Amino acid sequence: MFSRNEFRISDHALVEMERRGLEVTAVEQVVIDPEQVVAVRSGRIVCQSRVESGSRLLRAIVDIDRHPAVVVTAYKTSNLRKYWQQS
């Protein structure tokens, strides 16, 4: 999706990632090479990939209406049914 120099991770996202036990490299990887990209609203997307043998999603919320794009938060969820887009 993005190369490393096309996005940054906000201070808020870094705090939340640390609180949630997420590695920066894992979040960067999902933004660079997501399994899915879901439009949330104008200017915002979610980059997401299945992790932990497919039992959870790692989701990065990205504001794309600026340059560089900004990861505003990231989290893992086990609620794949809610968030995974079937093709």
Structure-token pair, residue 31: 């933004």
Strand partners, 71: 9, 62
Query: Digits of tens for pLDDT over the chain (87 positions)?
Result: 899 999 999 999 999 999 999 999 999 999 999 999 999 999 999 999 999 999 999 999 999 999 999 999 999 999 999 999 987
**Would 84 be classed as within a structural domain?**
no
For helices 11-20 and 24-32, what crossing angle results, to 10°?
A: 120
How many domains does the chain divide into? 1
Domain span at residue 11 reads 4-79
Q: Looking up tokens 């497919």, which residue turns up?
A: 54
87 part of a folded domain: no
Distance CA 8, CA 50 (A): 22
- Which amino acid type is present at position 16? E
The pLDDT value given to residue 73: 98
Is residue 56 situated within a structural domain? yes
pTM, two decimals, is 0.95
Q: How many residues does the chain have?
A: 87
